Amino acid sequence: MDEHDHSQHKPTVDATHNDKPTSHIHPNEAHNEERAGHEHHEQMAHSLPSHSEPVPHIPKTTADMPPEAHAHEHGAAPDPDHGNMDHGSGHAGHHEQMVVDFRKRFWVTLGLTIPVTLLSPMIMMLFGFHLDFPGANVIVFVLSTIIFFYGGKPFLKGAWDEWKKRSPGMMLLISLAIISAYIYSTFTAFFITGSDFYFELATLILIMLLGHWIEMKSQMGASKALEELIKLMPKVAHKLDSAGNTVEVSIEDLVPGDRILIKPGEKIPLDGKIFEGDSTVDESMLTGESVPVEKQPGMAAIGGSINGNGVLKLTVEKVGNETYLAQVIQMVTNAQQQKSKAQGLADTAAKWLLYIAVVAGILTFGYWLFAADQPFALERLVTVLVIACPHALGLAVPLVNAVSTSIAARNGLLIRNRTQFEAARKINRIVFDKTGTLTEGNFGVTDIIPAEGIAEKDLLTLAYSVELQSEHPIAKGIVRKGEAEHLTPLEVKDYQNLTGQGLQALVNGVPVAVVSPGTMAARAIAYDRTSYEELAQQGKTVVFVLKEDLLQGMIAIADIIRESSYEVVAALKEQDIEPIMLTGDNRRVADYVGKKLGMAQVFAEVLPAEKSKHVVALKEGNNKVAMVGDGVNDAPALAEADLGIAIGAGTDVAIETADVILVDSDPQDVLTIIRLSKATYRKMVENLIWAVGYNIIAIPLAAGVLNSQGIVITPAIGAAVMSISTIICAVNARLLKLD
């Protein structure tokens, strides 16, 4: 190793893992105090769900990723050309193709709607021009036919899906309107006397395409988490043969028992046990442990974690479905599939509106068939079905969503899942990961305690000068402090890494060492144990600076708590929202941070599989739980929560699994999410009330209930009123503001 071992610097590691439950320790493995700290990680892979549970195989490419349910937020949402889609691109690619498809259909339909509009009798009468010419009705018929079959295809397919599932909703209501309008208009154009509905047909399909384009665009990318998880795994490994030579092979070709070499800085390909080498391994993205874990022969390594500066050789123990990361993938997949079954407010409204429209249409046709004549009865029936079609309802939610998404972006929030974002208004428990969420995720100097007669600046300068030579995270924390204080490093020669002890060098020609508590005990050097124990109880890592074996002082390092974390916890309590910490980090550190922030509950040393289980448990009793995290280890919990919130500075996996992303990595933005969710929901309800209210009034008028008073809504008037209703919903959506 070319960097020093800080394993004994820190009471964090020793105390942490001595505190761990005995269930995490092999009874037949007797580790010394230093190595006992790592048994928690060695048991990591064994603490996951039973292999009897279905687990997806590790995909060879993103094309092989386990598919998510293709149900959409609005029930049986349209799936344009679904049968022709390449499912090999994964669910994220599926969403992206839907956005492209809706966009293309919208622009083509818009181009065809323009001439249909210009040739509409209502438009010509309204604007006082005349374009009647031989064959005009044929042109309108051809253009409307293309609009019906091409632009309306997603809705017709969606309606068929709803019909097969016996789950009527928006798609069936839209299809009922466009089918009746198209068939009736075709007959009036060529066979019977009456007014056609081609203009209404074209504008209805156009508006619905726009609404679903906006909707699909807002959903796109919400399902890339599985692709990002796969990216954590390297594609190749350095396999060792019987002679000890290495050959590069695909990880798919490895089987349990194979031996592999991991070079410095490389990702560990698969789960296994180390048989040679010493190094530190960064497991923070997988386990939540903020301190890089010291690895020695006999200890377990997790696939996807990152090797430090040492060379490791390990025996492969788990491949494919059995690996730790594969099971994380399965948990994320399961949670997202459950989440995708949610049905939106608009779809519920559309279902009831469908029942009302069908009943009203049948009653209207039956009444006028006897009270008037068949052509009038048929015209009233079609008018009812067309007017009942939710032009405004189709845009009521997507437009508000588009506006709220824009407002969120301006406030450093990216909304990835509309349905879950809307549910944020009901959240009464918020679970925070610690490392990188409540804390900065980087070590920083918290305390500098010089020995008697030593200046604080001189103590820090000595440590800064020596630690400049190291890449260890603890060393980097001291270096950052030195740079922040604008210290000038002293001349350093004969730098040495004292394995398991610390660092030493000649500083300006004088021996200086930065060592661990264990080294102090081994050298029988006295120090202030009261100060040391106080720092240790706070979960801080302590190093000692020696000059010619004389103590110069001690320096404490810890993961720094974000300033905004204090404010957000206090604000949540004021709103009767319970703040909870859920971390894979050790108990001592977690308790210290939780106490400092005033957390209602603290769960520490929690494995990723257990994190999602904790979230499920916290949801019991009709509680609504949000999860805020930043690492791979948080992904299953983020997906399981009622609202998953990712810190923008976190991993791609956490970001892609989350429903909302905090771009500025500021936990205080959690408060903004709740406020915006409440404002968004109010605006959606206002739009839905208006859209449904319009139909409640318009349907009886379209049915001809005031015909005896000479008040009858013609198809043209109905179309105009529908347009006004849509405009009102659009304007109301634009009035959305962050409270």
Could you tell me which residues come within 8 angstroms of residue 148 by beta carbon, excluding any fewer than 6 positions away? 178, 182, 201, 205
Whether residue 23 is contained in a domain is answered as: no
Identify the band that residue 568 occupies on the pLDDT scale cut at 50, 70 and 90: very high
pLDDT digits 0-9 by tens, 702-729: 788 887 777 777 666 666 676 677 778 8
Residue 504 pairs in a beta bridge with 496, 513
Q: Are residues 98 and 183 in the same domain?
A: yes
Q: Are strands 578-582 and 601-603 parallel, antiparallel or unpaired?
A: parallel
Q: Specify if 702 maps to a domain.
A: yes
Given 636, 661, 678, the domain boundary residue is 678
Q: Are residues 645 and 527 in the same domain?
A: no
Size of the chain, expressed as the number of residues it contains: 739
**Chain segment 587-635, per-residue pLDDT in tens:** 888 898 999 999 999 999 888 778 889 999 999 999 999 999 876 678 8
- 461: its two tokens: 């300068």
Whose CA is closest to 387, among 698, 617, 44?
Answer: 698
Q: Which residue has the higher pLDDT, 28 or 718?
A: 718
Average pLDDT over residues 547-565: 91
Clarify whether residues 388 and 506 are in a common domain: no
User: For residues 513 and 490, what is the distance between their CA atoms, to the nearest angstrom?
Assistant: 14
pLDDT of residue 491: 92
Q: What is the pLDDT of residues 66-86, one digit of tens each?
A: 333 333 333 344 444 433 333
In this structure, what CATH number is given to the domain that contains residue 281?
2.70.150.10
- How far, in Å, are 184, 197, 366 from residue 372 at the CA level? 18, 21, 10
The CATH number given to whatever domain includes residue 419 is 3.40.50.1000
Other beta carbons within 10 Å of 31: 17
Helix axes 456-467, 473-484, angle to 10 degrees: 130
> What is the model's pLDDT at position 63?
34
Q: Whole-angstrom Cα distance, residue 361 to residue 555?
A: 81
Residue 316 and residue 358 in one domain: no
> ∠ CA 631-635-638 to the nearest 5 degrees?
110
pLDDT of 524 strictly over 50: yes
Same domain for 588 and 633, yes or no, is yes
Provide the 10 A C-beta neighbour count for residue 476: 17
**Hey, what are 546's tokens?**
């020696």
Residues 666 and 690 in one domain: no
Contact 385, 180 (CB under 8 A): yes
Q: What is the DSSP letter of 602?
A: E
Does a structural domain hold residue 167?
yes
Residue range of the domain that includes 117: 82-222+345-405+679-729
Judge contact between 505 and 438, C-beta under 8 A.
Answer: no
Q: Which of 37-51, 64-78, 182-196, 567-581 has the lowest mean pLDDT?
A: 37-51
Q: Are 631 and 644 contacting, i.e. CB atoms less than 8 angstroms apart?
A: no
73 in any annotated domain? no
Within 8 A by CB and 6+ apart from 86, the residues are 93, 97
Hey, what are 2's tokens? 């070319």
Q: Is residue 262 located within the same domain as residue 161? A: no
Domain match, 458 and 398 both: no
Q: Is residue 29 part of a domain?
A: no
Same structural domain for residues 469 and 588? no
On the question of pLDDT at 50 being above 50, the answer is: no
- Total structural domains within the chain: 4
Answer whether residue 337 is part of any domain. Answer: no
- The domain boundary residue, chosen from 560, 577, 593: 560
Return the active site residues: 433
How is the chain split among helix, strand and coil, in percent rounded to 5? 55, 15, 30
Asked whether residue 738 is assigned to any structural domain, the reply reads no
Lowest mean pLDDT among 50-64, 319-333, 594-608, 724-738: 50-64
Q: Which pTM was predicted?
A: 0.56
Judgement on whether residues 238 and 362 belong to the same structural domain of the protein = no
Question: Quick one: tokens of 572?
Answer: 């949540």
Long-range contacts of 506-509 (CB under 8 A, 24+ apart): 507/462, 507/465, 507/466, 507/547
CATH number for the domain including 539?
3.40.1110.10
Res. 378: pLDDT tops 90: no
C-alpha 29: how far from chain center: 39
Confidence of residue 127 (pLDDT cuts 50, 70, 90): confident
Mapping DSSP onto H, E and C, the string for 381-396 reads HHHHHHHHCCHHHHHH
Same domain, yes or no: 100 and 210: yes
Q: What are the Cα distances from residue 248, in Å, to 252, 260, 278, 314?
A: 12, 10, 22, 15
Contact yes or no for 375/194 (Cβ under 8 A): yes
N- to C-terminal Cα distance for the chain? 55
> Which residues lie closer than 8 Å to 363 by C-beta, 6 or more apart?
703
Rounded Cα gap, residues 630 and 662, in angstroms: 10
What's residue 2's pLDDT?
A: 41
Region 354-375: what's the mean pLDDT? 84
pLDDT band, very low/low/confident/very high, at 187 (cuts 50, 70, 90): confident
The full DSSP string for 497-556 is EETTTEEEEEETTEEEEEE-HHHHHHTT----HHHHHHHHHTT-EEEEEEETTEEEEEEE
Of the three residues 298, 329, 360, the one that is the final residue of a domain is 329
In a domain, 645, yes or no: yes
Q: What is the model's pLDDT at position 546? A: 95
Task: Kindly report the average pLDDT of the chain as a whole number.
Answer: 77
Let me know whether 100 and 117 are in one domain.
Answer: yes
Which residue is it, tokens 């929030």? 413
